[in-house]
Amino acid sequence: MTDWDQHAADWDERAAVQTYAVSAFRSLTSLAEATDFNLAGCSAFDFGCGTGLLTEHLASVCAHIDAFDTSPAMRDVLSAKIDRHQWRHVRLLDQLPPAPQRYDLIVCSSVLSFVDHYPTMVDRLLRHLAVGGLFVQWDWELDPSDDQSHGFTREEVRRTLAEAGLASVAVGVAFEVTVDGSTMSPLIGSGRRPRPDS
């Protein structure tokens, strides 16, 4: 199991994670445009925020962001950024939000393959998604024929999001970028919380 605290201090110095965050945010804005989801002024929950590389991009468009990560050292890095930027609209949580809290957008960037049980965590997170809200996850694509491969298959993501009750579920390659000679092509999975009568 990864000790994420150990990675916090130099996480932001890695070119690959910086590029990943920029590319993930671009893929989010493309998805929002394509599906008529208004990112501007939305409320967001950044689950598994790490040092806040994606949070930083969200902070430029969202009206309010709650961010949570289980690693105190990762949270400390984001906390320093919040202070430095004087972001009053970004709140760092040290646990999952309380039950009544609902968001227009929930993002999970490269975290769901690390939780104990993926479908249970998706169910738990979706309690916080407003009706009409958008859920988005980015993860490595699992190659079942490769023992060293990590992540999810497209079918696993599609099934999990659909069984959790999301509508308009879509799964595909989020982006493809090459950093230091290695190419990243993670999956993006998304869905909307349907209106009760739809």
Ligand X SMILES: C[S@@+](CC[C@H](N)C(=O)[O-])C[C@H]1O[C@@H](n2cnc3c(N)ncnc32)[C@H](O)[C@@H]1O
Nearer to ligand X by Cβ, of 43 and 71: the residue is 71
Per-residue burial over 168-197, b = 16 or more CB atoms within 10 Å of its CB, e = otherwise: ebbbeebbebeeeeeebebbbbbbbbeeee
Nearer to ligand X by Cβ, of 70 and 101: the residue is 70
Q: How far is CA 72 from the centre of its chain?
A: 18
Q: What is the nearest approach in angstroms of ligand X to the Cβ of residue 111? A: 4
Nearer to ligand X by Cβ, of 88 and 117: the residue is 117
Q: What is the nearest approach in angstroms of ligand X to the Cβ of residue 15? A: 13
Q: Which residues bind ligand X (CB under 6 A)?
A: 4, 17, 21, 48-50, 53-54, 69-71, 74, 109-111, 114-115
Q: What is the nearest approach in angstroms of ligand X to the Cβ of residue 54? A: 5
Q: What is the nearest approach in angstroms of ligand X to the Cβ of residue 196? A: 29
Nearer to ligand X by Cβ, of 53 and 166: the residue is 53
